[in-house]
Each structure stands twice: as structure tokens, then as C-alpha cells.
Amino acid sequence: MASLGTSERLALIRENLAETLNFEIIENIIAEGNNPKVYWGTATTGRPHCGYFVSAVKMAQLLAAGCELKVLLADIHAFLDSLKAPIELVESRVEFYRYTITAMLRAVGVSTEKLTFVLGSSYQKSSEYIMDVYRLCSYISEHDAKRAGAEIVKQSANGPLSGLLYPILQVLDEQYLDVDIQFGGLDQRKLFIAAKEWLHKLGYKQRAHIMNPMVPGLHGGKMSSSDPDSKIDLLDPPEVVTRKIGKAVSAPKVVEENGVLAFVEHVLLPASALRGRREFRVDRDRDGLEPLVYNTIAQMHDDYRDDVLTPQLLKPAVAKALNALLAPIQEAYQASTEWQEIALKAYPPPPTKEKKVKDKGDKGTRHPEGKPKKH
């Protein structure tokens, strides 16, 4: 994208956010002509899917706005969160995430020159960091730690102590990654509030926080790595993408909690803008009509409510646009034997179950099949 002015940079950072905290920190940095340093973290657990595009497009916008982006590959967090990722798989999954996130950002046409990956264990085992963990543990109550992690850490009546450490580590990451902003989903709001309250106890400065809304999945709920029917894999072939979009929940005339429209709003429209032309096109060849061309989600919502834009028109258009977005990612994957090998190590196929051969056993002479043969 061409060089942007101050107002344009701020507008790009703000676009599609659900909430911001301490946004004046960002405004002051940009007003001084500097580039804000921002981090987004992800626990390297489940295999990334198309739901990750919501965060990836926002990160691409941050890069386009001149921000310096650090992606935290949180391997220790992955292990702490109820042992979602076996420790022996974490190293391979870190590399898989590195390949995947880079390819997603490049697919929307932004430079990754100001993108840096940081492995959590590269600094989270240092003596200084561990000492700060101890210091925060002395200030923070069990209740406060549970409240901060309520939306992101699996809660149970008698959960492991690791669940209490998780939010403490994430708060400290802001300091040790030396950033001005932490970016995440609205589900992390309680943790971001905790960062504002906790860091000053150690004499550290406050950061700005920016939050994406929780975008509904294709079936109305959250896209989940563990539910194949609720997600589209980044490597799904075009016909599978089209089939899954076709099965998505998209009630006629209803825009609320409509995962298909939400995907256009938070992924496809802003991604097209990053590539040079904000536009979403809906073909109507079968009806012999001119295509519907949208530049804003408000236009789409109006037409959808009026039944001008129907689910039967919307879904094929979304499938076509998504397949175009996935194509460069899949080409990069096919061209990289290293990425393919990492994928097998990170997410090995489940072992095939051997069929048990039923032992007929000795049925005895009284059973018809067990009668002694006549000689």
C-alpha cells in the first residue's frame, strides 16, 4: 500500500475492532511519526484454520499501517493450558504455525518485513522473567487469576495450578516483548484489564490493547480445530471449501450471528482493500442479471435484509473469494517439502485401528458346526 498519513494509519488500526483500551498511547506514537510495536500471541495447539484469518487480516492491517508486529508462538502457554498440546509435539507445531501465519499474511498482499516471530520459551525461562512471575504471584489472589483467565483458560472445579499461571505469563509478555500494544480477541478483555492493573505493581508501564470481536463461525458458533464440520482447513481443496460453505448457517434476511456475512466483513472485504481494491462481487449469471458489487458491509446488510442478496447467491460468492485467498497459501505449501514434513510431525494422522479377529473357539460337539466328522 502507498504511504499513509496519520489519520489513515489510525483508521486502518481501528477498523473492525470491538474495543480498545488506552488507544491514546497509539495516537501519541503515530503523531510523533514513530511506528507502534504490537504483539499477538497464539498457543501452538490445534491446527490453524480459516477462523485464523480474522486475526491474520487485522495483523496485516497493522503491518500496512506501519506497525512493527511480533507474533508470540506461545509454546509454554500451549503446555500450561490443560496440557492441550503434548510437549513432544510443541516444537513441530511452533514451526507449522510459523509457516502458516507467514503464508496467510502474504496471501493478503502485505510485506512481512516488519514481522518477527518470538518463541515463548526463548525468554520465559530466564531468571528475570521467573522472578517476575514469583513477584506477581505474591500480589495476585487466586480469585483474580481465575477471573483474568476465565475466557481463555479451561476452568474446572479442581484444575491444575498451570491454569492460574497462564494469565500471569501473558501479562508479563507485554513487558518482556517490549511492545506498546497487545492485540487479541474480545474474549481476552478480562486479561487485558488485568494487565492494566498488575503491571504497575512491578513498576512497568501500561500498554494499549486492541480487540477483535468474536466472529461467529459458519455454523453460528465458534470455529473449532477439534470439530471438522465447524471449520475450513487452510489446505482444503476448492470443492471441499465450496461444500462446507454451502452447509453453513445463513438464515435469509437475518444478518445477526450470520457467520457467512461476518466472514465477508472481517476477512474478505478488508483483505481485498489490502490487495488494492475494496470490493466483494456476487455473480448472478444464472438469473441473467448484473453482478452485485459491494464496497461496504452496510450495503450487503441492507441487500441481505431486503432479500436482494440471498443465501443462494451469497454462499457461492464467499466460496469463490475464499478459494482465491487460499490458493497462494496452498501453492506455498505444495512448493515446500519442509512445511509438508513439519505438518506430518506436528499433526500426525491417528493410528489405524487393527481389526480384531473374532476367535470362534471350541463350540463343542453339541453345536451343529462342532459335530465330529465321520470317517
pLDDT tens digit sequence for 14-58: 999 999 999 999 999 999 999 999 999 999 988 999 999 999 999
Backbone phi, psi, residue 211, to 5°: -130, 130
Could you give the CA distance from residue 132 to residue 143 in angstroms, rounded to a whole number? Answer: 19
3-state SS class at 273 = helix
CATH class of residue range 6-212: alpha beta
What pLDDT shows up at residue 363? Answer: 53
Looking at residue 44, what DSSP letter applies?
Answer: S
- Residues shown for the chain: 375
Cβ pair 89, 271 in contact under 8 A: no
| Plot region of 222 (φ>0 → left; ψ -120 to 50 → alpha; else → beta) | beta
Spans of the chain, pLDDT less than 70 = 1-2, 81-86, 155, 220-230, 353-375
What pLDDT shows up at residue 375? Answer: 47
State the DSSP H helix or E strand holding residue 165, giving kind and residue range, or none if neither. Answer: helix 162-176
Q: Where in the chain is the domain with CATH 1.10.240.10?
A: 238-346
The C-alpha angle 62, 104, 223, rounded to 5 degrees, equals 95
Helices 53-64 and 87-107 pack at an angle, to 10 degrees, of 60
Could you give the CA distance from residue 173 to residue 31 in angstroms, rounded to a whole number? Answer: 26
Could you give the CA distance from residue 314 to residue 307 in angstroms, rounded to a whole number? Answer: 11
Q: Where in the chain is the domain with CATH 3.40.50.620?
A: 6-212
Could you give the CA distance from residue 113 to residue 105 in angstroms, rounded to a whole number? Answer: 11
What pLDDT shows up at residue 357? Answer: 59
Architecture of domain 238-346 in CATH? Orthogonal Bundle (1.10)
Instruction: Copy the grid coordinates of residue 168.
Output: 500471569
List, in sequence order, every residue forming a beta bridge with 72; answer none if it has no partner.
41, 118
Looking up cell 471350541 gives 362
What pLDDT shows up at residue 340? Answer: 98
